[in-house]
Chains A and B, each alone.
Chain A
Amino acid sequence: DGGITQSPKYLFRKEGQNVTLSCEQNLNHDAMYWYRQDPGQGLRLIYYSQIVNDFQKGDIAEGYSVSREKKESFPLTVTSAQKNPTAFYLCASTAQGLLAKNIQYFGAGTRLSVL
């Protein structure tokens, strides 16, 4: 089955700790995105990547880092510099190209909490 897999579903972070959220897709999509969602709010873009070995900051990149070493994978690290990391994190991907509507498809999300 094609899709986007995020893991873990729930994650707890201790103060001063870096944690990494996994996002894998087998849709052969070129572009991948990370969003943060706070309770009752919309989605805010953290980072995005249009191609392997390239990524760009979104609106709220401070305290986060990413890598894109493989087309299928776009992990997000929440660093100790992110002082308010408790949120629901969503990964998305989209096909590129003129014929593609560039619909973003989402993974099931990771809920991060601080201990």
Chain B
Amino acid sequence: GQNIDQPTEMTATEGAIVQINCTYQTSGFNGLFWYQQHAGEAPTFLSYNVLDGLEEKGRFSSFLSRSKGYSYLLLKELQMKDSASYLCAVRDLGNAGNMLTFGGGTRLMVKP
């Protein structure tokens, strides 16, 4: 099976940069996803990495190192609306049905 670890909570200041880390253990890595989830709402897709390196999309970037089993989500120019949970999810070749295994999520609080 997969084991996915991410910090439970983080706090950052409006306008700053924050990095949310995710480490995983899997036998047949086939992609890593980041989702944003505001309280009481559905997760929304942020980014997808399957090859090593950095994927940039506006204020959000996601990095992957397959050899280290490590990813991070980088949020720049933080805004109050970025206060949410950020979920890391991994897809494994051994999973039928393109199933994802989710980490417990990192709750980010952005303060003025």
Contacts and interface: CB of A to CB of B under 8 A. Distances in A.
Nearest to B42: A106
A48 B45 contact: no
Contacts of A108: 41-42
The main secondary structure of chain A at its interface with chain B is: strand
Given A42-B104, A43-B102, A90 B97 contact: no
Nearest to A44: B102
Interface string B4-38: 10001000000000000000000000010100000
Given A102-B91, A103-B33, A45 B41 contact: no
Nearest to B100: A104
A48 B96 CA distance: 10
Interface residues of B, number: 25
Interface in B85-111: 87, 89, 91, 96-100, 102-105, 107
Given A43-B87, A90-B42, A31 B102 contact: no
Contacts of B8: 40
Interface string A34-66: 010000111111001110000010100000000
Interface residues of A, number: 28
Given A102-B31, A102-B91, A103-B45, A48 B104 contact: no
A85 interface: no
Contacts of B99: 33, 45, 48, 58
A12 to B, nearest CB: 17
B44 interface: yes
Interface of B: 4, 8, 31, 33, 40-45, 48, 50, 87, 89, 91, 96-100, 102-105, 107
24 contacts: A33-B99, A41-B105, A42-B87, A42-B103, A42-B104, A42-B105, A43-B43, A44-B102, A48-B99, A50-B96, A50-B97, A56-B97, A58-B99, A88-B40, A90-B42, A90-B43, A94-B98, A101-B31, A101-B48, A102-B31, A103-B33, A106-B43, A108-B41, A109-B41
